Structure formats: structure tokens, C-alpha cells
Amino acid sequence: MDGLKSQQSTPAESKSTDTERISISLKKTLLKEFEKKIDQNGTYSNRSEAIRDLIRDYLVKEEWKTNEEVVGALIYLHDHHETEAITKIQHGHHANVLSTMHIHLDERLCVEVTIVRGRAHDIQELADRLKSVSKHLELAMTSTGMKF
């Protein structure tokens, strides 16, 4: 009975079971510069929020680096005459292509946005293939968000 009782948490603890408070040591100049930038950008209302985002950025980069399942967006500018080649490449990666939007920019140029999901190496391979028939391509990397 005593064992059971000691496992029960107090109301204050149970409020934040999925959050853990940590303390970290930083060089004063590093902290000062960090806080200065946060103030200038005005994106964050507190340091914890900024640090949480930095940790998430790191975790997303690691997911891509270690070939985990990821989500991304490809935006690529191409000549209309390459549309058939692009469709063929997309069919070759049909398991990774979630959705594509095609915009006719003018008589000759097109821009496409493709949302992708799959192993990082497969997504990178798809991006490289599309890039080879595009004028310009950008790959935005994000996560499935399943782990954090």
C-alpha cells in the first residue's frame, strides 16, 4: 500500500506530466546574443519557446540525415515542354507524391508545388530527378511530427 501511495503524484505534478523543466548552463556572451536576437526578431514571447523551436529544427534535420520518414515540399520552375518528363518522374515516385499543384506562369513557364512524404533518401532522389529537368528547384524539409 505504501508503494502505491508513493507513486501517486501531487496535483502540481500531474498538471505537467508531458513537460519537464530543465536548467542549462550557457556562456554569458552566448546567452546575451541569443536574447538580443530574440528581442530584435520579436518572434518569441520567451526564451523557452525559442529553445523548443531550435530543438525541433535539430530533430527535423536529424530525421532527414538518418533517412527516417519525412514530409517535404518541392517548388520548381520549369519550361512547359518538360511537363511530360516531370509527370513521368512523379509516376516513378507515386508512393512519395501526396499532391501536386501546377501553375501556368505565362505562355512558356510553369511552376509546380509537390507535397511529398517518405524516406528522406527517396525524397532527395525525387528532388534531384525533378531538378534535372527544371530551371530551379527548392526543397523545404519538415517532419511527420510523429515523434515530438
Q: Which residues bind Ni ion (CB under 5 A)?
A: 104, 110
Closer to Ni ion by Cβ: residue 61 or 81? 81
Amino acid at 103: I
Closer to Ni ion by Cβ: residue 88 or 104? 104
Closer to Ni ion by Cβ: residue 47 or 108? 108
Cβ 99 to Ni ion shortest distance, Å: 16
Task: State residue 10 phi and psi, 5-degree precision.
Answer: -75, 160
Cβ 102 to Ni ion shortest distance, Å: 6
Cβ 111 to Ni ion shortest distance, Å: 8
